[in-house]
Amino acid sequence: MRGQAIAGAEKALALDETLPEAHNARAVIALDGEWDLAGAQRHFLRALELRPSYAAAHNLYGQLLSWQLPGRGDEARQHFERARELDPFSPWNELNLLMWWDMQGQPERSIEEGDRARQRNPTLWVIPFQNGFAHLRLKRFREAARDFETALELLGHRPAAVVTRLGLSYGLAGRREDALAIQAELEQASRTRYVSPLFRAVVYSGLGQTDEAFRLLERALEERTPALLGLLNDATAVALCTDPRWPDLEGRIRSAARWPEGAVPIAPTSPSPSR
């Protein structure tokens, strides 16, 4: 599937290199499918050169800058604000603002903004979802579990990416039986569709089963599963980053990615509030 997606995007660009949508799609594939942050940046910038009013590209490029490239938060905020001007009703606007504060090392501010955003958009699931990350970073695990439960209720279905964070929060909050139920849910789902080994590893980490967690993380690295690169700056790693095996794994994940020239792919190994 990854190869087919790359081939499709490359074919579109070969037919017409001036298609901003093709560059945006190629950027997303480079980031998620190839861990090629340099290529993703190049294609996002080309998409925005071709269409400066491309709100989706501003959103996604801002997320790359904010989440993956330390020290470029101000630039990310400019892209988020431009995206809001271009598409004021996009649900990404709320998520980007909350994520930006969290990635600036201010999870409390992210939660405050999230509470205000929920008053504006009470049915938008990404708001409690992002608040859950901020509570994880602050080690408020019961509050994180509550937020992830709310996100799932608003969604009306149970995507693995959200269920995983709920399972982690349950485990860290001492709700072991609930966390085990989430692990069983993920294992059952993996019998009929692909479920990243990263997701199961995260829940195991919340349960304190770190040997199994790191075994699955090694498999996730071998598969180059998309979300693993994002784990490095993600509060989801809260139960992993204190393990003595984490620095070595973190370094190998970083080495497997291709970074933009001049980028410093270094971030704290501990997703703490003072990061």
Residue 10 tokens read as: 């490359």
Domain range enclosing 195: 158-275
Residue 143 covered by a domain: no
Both 164 and 275 in one domain: the answer is yes
What is the enclosing helix (H) or strand (E) of 41?
helix 37-50
Side-chain-facing half-sphere of 265: CA atoms under 13 Å? 20
At residue 36, φ and ψ (nearest 5 deg) are: -105, 85
Cβ-contact 168, 136 below 8 angstroms: yes
pLDDT at 265: 54
* pLDDT tens per residue across span 28-45: 999 998 999 999 999 999
Domain boundary residue, one of 33, 62, 90: 90
Both 83 and 163 in one domain: the answer is no
Residue 105 covered by a domain: no
Residue 123 covered by a domain: no
The per-residue b/e assignment along 236-265, b for 16 or more CB within 10 angstroms, e otherwise, is: bbbbbbeeeebeebbeebeeebebbeebeb
**How far is the CA of 67 from the CAs of 96, 105, 153, 243, in angstroms?**
10, 11, 26, 23
Domain of 32, CATH number, reads 1.25.40.10
Per-residue pLDDT of the chain (275 residues; tens, 9 = 90+): 667 777 877 888 888 899 999 999 999 999 998 999 999 999 999 999 999 999 999 999 999 999 888 889 999 999 999 999 999 999 899 999 999 999 999 999 999 999 999 999 999 999 999 999 999 999 999 999 999 999 999 999 999 999 999 999 999 999 999 999 999 999 999 999 999 999 999 999 999 999 999 999 999 999 999 889 989 888 999 999 999 999 999 999 999 999 998 775 544 444 433 33
Beta-carbon contacts of residue 244 (< 8 Å; ≥ 6 apart)? none
Tell me the pTM: 0.90
- Total of domains in the chain: 2
Residue 34 covered by a domain: yes
